[in-house]
Amino acid sequence: MSHPVQRADFDRYMVPVFSPLEMIFVRGEGSRLWDQAGRDYIDFGAGIAVTALGHGHPALLAALHEQAAKLWHVSNYYTNEPVLKLARMICESTFAERVFFSNSGAEANEGAIKLARKRAIDRHGPEKIEIVAFNGSFHGRTFMTMAVGGQPKYSSGMGPLPEGIIHVDYNDIEAVRRVIGPRTCAVVIEPVVGESGVVPATPEFLRTLRELCTQHDAMLVFDEIQSGNGRTGNLFAYMGYGVTPDILTTAKGIAGGFPMGVMMTTEAIASAFHVGSHGSTFGGNPLAAAVACAAFDLIRSDAVLAGVRSKAERAASRLRDMATSTGCFGEVRHAGLWFGLQLVPEMAGRAKDFVTVGAEEGLLVLQGGPDVVRLATSLVISDAELDEGLNRLERVCKRLKA
């Protein structure tokens, strides 16, 4: 085992569910990464909206080092200081009165769905189990969350799926009215769709969902795993809409790159769960919670959130100019530092080429489906890194157009 690891080892040793690009990153600082050969890349993907404060942030490193030297894990036979600090911080900053910690987004959604089902069955009986969800949505890769997600390519060929899930089109309130009813226990929605191209819900849509859920005593569940934690310029996207869910899930950016998921709810709803109703071995362990405390405290600050809004405007105006000058994409959708560049019809299906050619030009970008280039920068990206990344993106556009 003395030879250095290389990309070929991925194909040799890993279960083939991913096909990573050729380079292997070994170091990161701010919004820049370096590969094994010492080449640098501007990071406009943030590890899929996870490294919200960039790479190697001093406050996160300090929190990690400090906690690592003290205590890593004690189990849920006991509680711990970092998790209690984090819980208090989240409840002070959001609608939440009770929180449950997991290690990932999918697990946070599992908790939300179990809670919604249990509450509905306790209150109304065993028929109230239906979940309304949306075509194109993404909620994770566990059995339940892939079934609730609206992308059959992820859930087909795996045998029977959990029952009681109904999908309708996003932003189509009449379609929701047709399927919601006394059997509905929850409506699960991303307030801004991430994986399918950074598509925001209309405010009327979310407002009407709120009314319908209240009317049918169904839980309005916002999956803010990607839209949360400052991404949109609000701490959570629901705050910008002024529509408060009953249950909110988040993960990705909340600990700046350390695995952490959260399910938030009210005291009354949380009381449907008792000791033993749900659990997790690693969820809320001191190490993850300490890093999350440091990250979330920065993310919720006015300085960071105002920075997201101003950097987003700077990037959006440059991207609109680039749309015209390069002719690669038309609509520039954005919610804070989260962009969906809708490729023009003649470039349709080529979002993946932006990922590969981007890497050749030293730029990391994401896809949002086949026709959308998705960007999710660090929330604290410097103006110099932002401008350098946009210059590289312009070169990518010109190469792909040629």
Ligand X SMILES: *Cc1c(COP(=O)(O)O)cnc(C)c1O
Write out the residues near ligand X by the rule CB under 6 A.
104-106, 138-140, 190, 194-195, 223, 225-226, 251-252
Q: What is the DSSP letter of 229?
A: T
Location of structure tokens 């008792």: 274
Segment (H or E) for 86: helix 81-93
For residue 121, what is the enclosing H or E element?
helix 105-124
Q: How far is the CB of 373 from ligand X (least distance, A)?
A: 17
Task: Quickly list H helices, 216-339.
Answer: 237-241, 267-270, 286-299, 302-326
Question: What tokens appear for 367 in the block?
Answer: 């896809």
CB of 345 to ligand X, least distance (A): 27
Q: CA-CA distance, 303 to 280, in Å (whole number)?
A: 34
User: What is the closest distance, in whole angstroms, from the C-beta atom of residue 154 to ligand X in the complex?
Assistant: 11
Ramachandran region of residue 140, left (φ > 0), alpha (ψ -120 to 50) or beta?
left
Rounded-to-integer distance, Cα 376 and Cα 312, Å: 10
Comparison of 83 and 113: residue with beta carbon closer to ligand X: 113
Q: Is the Cβ–Cβ distance between 368 and 334 less than 8 Å?
A: no
Taking the complex as a whole, the smallest distance from the CB of residue 189 to ligand X amounts, in Å, to 10
CA distance 93 to 304: 15
CB of 195 to ligand X, least distance (A): 6
Query: Nearest to ligand X by Cβ — which residue?
Result: 105
Q: 168 vs 251, which CB is nearer to ligand X?
A: 251
- Using the minimum distance from each CB to ligand X, give the nearer residue, 46 or 323: 46
* Minimum CB distance to ligand X smaller for 141 or for 183: 141
Task: State which residue, 67 or 226, has the beta carbon closest to ligand X.
Answer: 226
* Residue with smaller CB distance to ligand X, 322 or 375: 375
Comparison of 125 and 152: residue with beta carbon closer to ligand X: 152
Q: Which is nearer to ligand X, 98 or 374 (CB)?
A: 374
Please tell me the distance from the alpha carbon of residue 93 to that of residue 299, in angstroms, as a whole number. 11
The minimum distance between CB 229 and ligand X, in angstroms, equals 11
Residue 289 to residue 85: CA distance in whole angstroms? 8
- Give the count of beta carbons closer than 10 Å to the beta carbon of residue 344: 17
Smallest separation (angstroms) from ligand X to the CB of 136: 11
Nearer to ligand X, 376 or 386 (CB): 376
How would you label 80-92 residue by residue, b for 16+ Cβ within 10 Å and e otherwise?
Answer: bebbebbbebbee
Task: Report the run of H or E that residue 114 belongs to, with start and end.
Answer: helix 105-124
- In the complex, minimum distance from the CB of residue 110 to ligand X, in angstroms, rounded to a whole number: 9
Instruction: Tell me the closest approach of the beta carbon of residue 106 to ligand X, in angstroms.
Output: 3
Given a contact cutoff of 8 angstroms between Cβ atoms, the answer to whether 45 and 339 are in contact is no
Which of residues 205 and 392 has its CB atom nearest to ligand X in the complex? 205
DSSP string, 320-355: HHHHHHH-SEEEEEESSSEEEEEE-GGGTT-HHHHH
Minimum Å gap between C-beta 108 and ligand X is 8
